């Protein structure tokens, strides 16, 4: 039987004539950090101090010992970052140039010093660029010229920390006679029967041995012979339970066990978990354009999504528990789709396992982002090899529902001035419209493929046409106020977002001793977006008076503005289901402490936006929207059951006076949207009034004027603390009350974000991780809007 031995012990990293202890899996930066050679690049401006690391060549060494008994021993690297030469006792075994694939070398009977020499990724990328010619990109770093995580080279939310190292497990595999080289599981549902068809490739040590494979799924067992080193075994599971996205049903998973046999002797095994479900992408034309709707098990979905970036700029530090924590946060916020963005990596199976178990759908980008990618060798062969390997690797996961060719490259070609600059040079179109769809169709025909995001489906239309396919809404953040989200109803909003700084405790850890200000040196270093602070200031000025040097107030208001902006988009677009079939917020997470569009900051703390997503992505959402006929209350019901009840509409003055009131019945069909017209007498008149809509314990608010024009009363409220609960009782209108729990203690977390209270109303906020509860401290950590502030 094949035996695998992890190669985790005895590694050293050679640095300036000395050997430092090395951790495998890991990378050069983490080893240098552990040895005290470099400062933490996440703290202060130390990122700049360690830039030299990415420009150096590095070597890892360990001792390899021969294993007796097996006919064959393979040295397997499941991830090398990126350009490496592998030597055994000084004799080359091979070279690598792709972070996104694995490598295997025959070392049967051999032992000695194993060395992995890494060239600087800059050296390789710049050499390829010199040979193939310059290609346009969103950033000046040479990331399009090698198959490496693009955001290693920096992004508008990420540091430039160009890594090298053995970033995924290394192992020795000992085997005899034959081994399973590849298994391609095609999982389908046919008339209620779950079908698993396993296409198996076998590698032998020599010819002649009769082989068979045996597969077991759901109590069913089937055997098939191996011919020409391939076999196909089909297992049918009667009355299979369907796997559903979260919120639509359960996520039953079935163990698949495959054994390679020589007679009765087991030679190798392969096991995975699968789920039975169907998925298709409806891109049919209609009166409004071309749709983009995911359909799972026949159920049409409004996708409640978030974009995922690598959770650490050093991906080897992200393990099973960290994946589960972050994805649990996503699920708890009502998210049902996670888009793995194309400037990162194909994540580890731990990521997809967690999504399988929690019902989070996965949209998987191929790793191409914001650049023209050459299609000549050596890149083309590497792209095909990595695509083939990762399509097959990820096929078992029922959570994976969509393959996407790239991020913004089709848009960039048409709209960012690339076409004239390229003057006929290759730029990636052959990958997105040729190679990648061919690979997916050949290897994984059970899933849809789309050429890019955004993509309108045809060059006859603008790639980012909101009426066709996927749309990225960045003109709003870059050039306008978030109220401009209300101008369009895209068919599927795959990217949009708004910036805010991380939590206060995160800033204090990352910028120790710094007097914090929006433009203090550390804050500027941890703001990577082009004119990011300028945009924050301009968009704050549309709604609020300037904070006038009060950092705490600036910090709070930017957090409010982020949550308000995302809410404006999602409420508007959800209210237009099924014309709009999804929103994917940019972004869920961060890879270090930074001012960014994330809902969860680089230390894992939830921003107010995170808590707002819980409201916005709930099954039921009331929202006040302007329609051509006037103001309406849209009742969005993503639950399967009818939503019916009575809505209470109140026109109120900011001093708490009730101006007008009405109750009316409503009925919203399952997976539908109902609208209740707001009569003219209930529409607020001027900045001193607002509208409240309460339905089934849920609330929608409409303030018709910017906050800077609203004469809010001086907020008055009482605070009590008991048993980890902070209770606030309002004596006036209290708008956008926020308890910043991390100001109480760095480990403290609140269970809710922004809340608006009417006079006499009470809210109870749960706080965990607060060792010394104190009412005065709680009051000091509470922020809300005030007239003129």
Q: Tens digit of pLDDT for each residue in 262-291?
A: 999 999 999 999 999 999 999 999 999 999
Give the rounded percent of residues in the chain with a pLDDT score beyond 70. Answer: 100
If DSSP codes are grouped into helix, strand and coil, which group holds residue 742? helix
316-329 pLDDT tens trace: 999 999 999 999 99
Q: Which member of 386, 408, 488, 495 is catalytic?
A: 408
CA distance 70 to 76: 16
Q: Which residues, 6 or more positions from 369, have their beta carbon under 8 angstroms from its beta carbon?
A: 150, 151, 341, 342, 343, 406, 407, 408, 409
13-37 pLDDT tens trace: 998 888 999 999 999 999 999 999 9
- Return the pLDDT at 788: 57
Asked if residue 378 has a cis previous peptide bond (ω within 30° of 0), the answer is yes
150-182 pLDDT tens trace: 999 999 999 999 999 999 999 999 999 999 999
Specify the DSSP class assigned to residue 241: P
Classify domain 281-618 by CATH number: 3.20.20.80
- Return the pLDDT at 613: 98
CA distance 352 to 500: 29
CA dihedral for 591, 593, 596, 597, sign (positive or negative): positive
- Across the range 197-226, mean pLDDT stands at 95
* 586: its two tokens: 């940019």
CA dihedral for 93, 96, 99, 100, sign (positive or negative): negative
CA distance 90 to 503: 50
* 780: its two tokens: 């000091």
- Across the range 83-90, mean pLDDT stands at 97
Cα distances (angstroms) measured from residue 606 to each of 129, 423, 440, 610 = 41, 46, 36, 6
- Return the pLDDT at 269: 98
* 374: its two tokens: 């050459």
- Return the pLDDT at 16: 84
- Across the range 453-467, mean pLDDT stands at 97
371-399 pLDDT tens trace: 999 999 999 999 999 999 999 999 999 99
Q: Which residues pair with 62 in a beta bridge?
A: 114
230-246 pLDDT tens trace: 999 999 999 999 999 99
Q: Which residues pair with 767 in a beta bridge?
A: 750
- Across the range 589-604, mean pLDDT stands at 98
CA distance 482 to 560: 13
CA dihedral for 509, 511, 515, 520, sign (positive or negative): negative
- Domain 621-709 listed as CATH 2.60.40.10: yes
* Residue-level length of the chain: 789
| 8 A C-beta contact, residue 469 and residue 438 | no
CA dihedral for 370, 376, 378, 381, sign (positive or negative): positive
Q: How confident is the model at residue 789 (pLDDT cuts 50, 70, 90)?
A: low
* 473: its two tokens: 């809404």
- Across the range 627-651, mean pLDDT stands at 97
pLDDT at 311 over 80: yes
| 8 A C-beta contact, residue 301 and residue 574 | no
Residue in this structure with the two tokens 């007796």, named with its chain if needed? 68
pLDDT at 644 over 90: yes
Q: What integer best gives the mean pLDDT of the chain? A: 97
- Largest distance between two CA atoms of the chain: 90
Specify the DSSP class assigned to residue 644: E
Out of 2.60.120.260, 3.40.50.720, 1.10.1740.10, 3.30.200.20, select the CATH number for domain 3-172: 2.60.120.260
pLDDT at 55 over 70: yes
Backbone angles phi, psi at 516, to 5 degrees: -75, 135
Q: Of 165, 132, 135, 136, which Cα lies nearest the Cα of 148?
A: 165
Backbone angles phi, psi at 479, to 5 degrees: -135, -5
- Return the pLDDT at 17: 86
- Across the range 734-754, mean pLDDT stands at 97
* 56: its two tokens: 């150096």
CA distance 248 to 243: 9
Q: Domain ranges in the chain?
A: 3-172, 177-274, 281-618, 621-709, 717-783
509-567 pLDDT tens trace: 999 999 999 999 999 999 999 999 999 999 999 999 989 889 999 999 999 999 999 99
Give the rounded percent of residues in the chain with a pLDDT score beyond 90. Answer: 97
Burial per residue of 436-450, b for 16 or more beta-carbon CB atoms within 10 angstroms, e otherwise:
bbebbeebbebbbbb
> Which ranges of 319-422 does DSSP label H, i.e. alpha helix?
320-332, 349-358, 379-394, 409-415, 418-422
Q: Which residues, 6 or more positions from 430, have their beta carbon under 8 angstroms from its beta carbon?
A: 375
If DSSP codes are grouped into helix, strand and coil, which group holds residue 556? helix
Residue in this structure with the two tokens 């391939």, named with its chain if needed? 230
What torsion, rounded to 10 degrees, do the Cα atoms 333, 338, 341, 346 define? 120
**Fold exhibited by the domain 177-274:** Immunoglobulin-like (2.60.40)
Cα distances (angstroms) measured from residue 11 to each of 55, 278, 472, 680 = 22, 45, 45, 74
pLDDT at 208 over 90: no
Q: Is-catalytic flag, 408?
A: yes
Reported as type and span, the H/E element at residue 558 is: helix 551-574
| 8 A C-beta contact, residue 784 and residue 544 | no
Q: Of 65, 48, 56, which Cα lies nearest the Cα of 31?
A: 56
- Across the range 350-370, mean pLDDT stands at 98
| 8 A C-beta contact, residue 118 and residue 54 | no
439-456 pLDDT tens trace: 999 999 999 999 999 999
- Across the range 459-476, mean pLDDT stands at 97
- Fold equal for 3-172 and 621-709: no
Would the pTM of this model clear 0.85, i.e. be above it? yes
Q: Which residues pair with 649 in a beta bridge?
A: 662, 693
Q: How deeply is 176 buried, as exposed, middle or buried, from its count of CB atoms within 10 A (0-12, 13-18, 19+)?
A: middle
- Return the pLDDT at 468: 98
Cα distances (angstroms) measured from residue 179 to each of 202, 211, 256, 261, 268 = 6, 10, 17, 10, 6
């Amino acid at each position: 039987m094949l035996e695998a031995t992890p190669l985790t012990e005895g590694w050293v990293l050679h640095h300036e004539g000395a050997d430092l202890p090395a951790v495998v899996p890991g990378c050069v930066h983490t080893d240098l950090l552990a040895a005290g050679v470099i400062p933490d690049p996440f703290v202060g401006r130390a990122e700049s101090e360690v830039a030299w690391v990415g420009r150096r060549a590095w070597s890892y060494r360990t001792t390899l010992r021969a294993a007796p008994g097996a006919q064959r021993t393979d040295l397997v690297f499941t991830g090398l970052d990126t350009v490496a030469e592998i030597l055994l006792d000084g004799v080359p075994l091979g070279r690598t140039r792709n972070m996104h694939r694995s490598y295997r070398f025959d070392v049967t009977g051999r032992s000695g010093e194993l060395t992995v020499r890494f060239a600087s990724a800059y050296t390789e990328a710049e050499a390829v660029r010199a040979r193939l010619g310059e290609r346009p990109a969103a950033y000046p770093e040479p990331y399009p010229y090698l198959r490496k995580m693009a955001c290693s080279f920096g992004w508008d939310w990420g540091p430039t920390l160009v890594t090298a190292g053995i970033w995924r497990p290394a192992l020795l595999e000992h085997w005899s006679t034959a081994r399973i080289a590849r298994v391609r599981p095609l999982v389908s549902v046919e008339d209620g029967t779950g079908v698993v068809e396993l296409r198996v490739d076998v590698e032998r040590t020599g010819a002649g041995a009769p082989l068979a494979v045996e597969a077991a799924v759901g109590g069913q067992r089937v055997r098939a012979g191996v011919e020409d080193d391939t076999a196909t075994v089909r297992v049918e599971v009667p009355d299979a339970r369907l796997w559903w996205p979260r919120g639509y049903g359960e996520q039953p998973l079935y163990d698949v066990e495959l054994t390679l046999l020589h007679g009765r002797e087991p030679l190798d095994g392969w096991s995975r978990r699968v789920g039975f479900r169907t998925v298709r992408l409806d891109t049919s034309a209609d009166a409004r354009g071309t749709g983009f709707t995911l359909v799972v098990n026949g159920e049409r979905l409004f996708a409640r999504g978030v974009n995922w970036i690598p959770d650490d700029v050093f991906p080897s530090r992200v393990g099973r528990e960290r994946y589960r924590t972050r994805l649990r946060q996503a699920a708890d916020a009502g998210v049902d789709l996670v888009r793995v963005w194309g400037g990162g990596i194909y994540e580890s199976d731990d990521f997809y396992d967690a999504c399988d178990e929690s019902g989070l759908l996965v949209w998987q980008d191929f790793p191409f982002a914001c650049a023209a990618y050459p299609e000549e060798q050596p890149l083309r062969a590497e792209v095909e090899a990595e695509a083939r390997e990762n399509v097959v690797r990820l096929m078992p996961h029922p959570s994976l529902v969509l393959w996407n060719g790239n991020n913004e490259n089709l848009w960039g070609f048409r709209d960012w001035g690339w076409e004239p600059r390229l003057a006929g040079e290759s730029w990636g179109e052959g990958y997105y419209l040729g190679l990648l769809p061919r690979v997916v169709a050949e290897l994984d025909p059970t899933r849809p493929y789309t050429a890019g995001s955004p993509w309108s489906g045809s060059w006859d239309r603008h790639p980012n046409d909101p009426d066709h396919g996927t749309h990225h809404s960045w003109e709003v953040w870059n050039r306008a106020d978030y109220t401009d989200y209300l101008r369009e109803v895209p068919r599927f909003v795959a990217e949009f977002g708004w910036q805010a700084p991380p939590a206060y405790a995160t800033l204090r850890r990352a910028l120790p001793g710094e007097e914090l200000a929006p433009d203090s040196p550390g804050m500027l270093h941890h703001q990577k977006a082009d004119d990011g602070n300028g945009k924050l200031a301009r968009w704050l000025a549309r709604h609020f008076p300037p904070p006038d040097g009060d950092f705490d107030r600036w910090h709070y208001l930017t957090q409010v503005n982020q949550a308000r902006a995302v809410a404006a988009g999602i409420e508007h677009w959800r209210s237009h289901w099924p014309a709009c079939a999804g929103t994917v917020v940019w972004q869920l997470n961060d890879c270090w402490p930074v001012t960014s569009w994330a809902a969860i900051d680089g230390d894992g703390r939830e921003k107010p936006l995170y808590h707002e997503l819980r409201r916005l992505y709930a099954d039921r959402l009331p929202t006040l929207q302007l329609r051509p006929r006037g103001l309406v209350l849209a009742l969005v019901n993503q639950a399967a059951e009818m939503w019916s009840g009575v809505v209470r509409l109140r026109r109120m003055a900011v001093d708490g006076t009730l101006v007008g009131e009405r109750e009316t019945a409503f009925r919203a069909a399952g997976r539908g949207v109902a609208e209740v017209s707001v009569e003219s007498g209930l529409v607020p008149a001027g900045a001193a009034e607002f509208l409240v809509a309460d339905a089934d314990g849920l609330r929608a608010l409409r303030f018709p004027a910017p906050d800077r024009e609203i004469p809010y009363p001086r907020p008055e409220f009482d605070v009590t603390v008991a048993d980890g609960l902070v209770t606030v009782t309002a004596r006036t209108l209290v708008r956008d009350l926020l308890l910043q729990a991390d100001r109480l203690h760095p480990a403290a977390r609140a269970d809710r974000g922004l809340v608006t209270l009417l006079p006499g109303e009470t809210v109870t906020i749960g706080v965990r991780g607060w060792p010394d509860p104190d009412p005065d401290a709680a009051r000091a950590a509470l922020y809300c809007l005030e007239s003129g502030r």
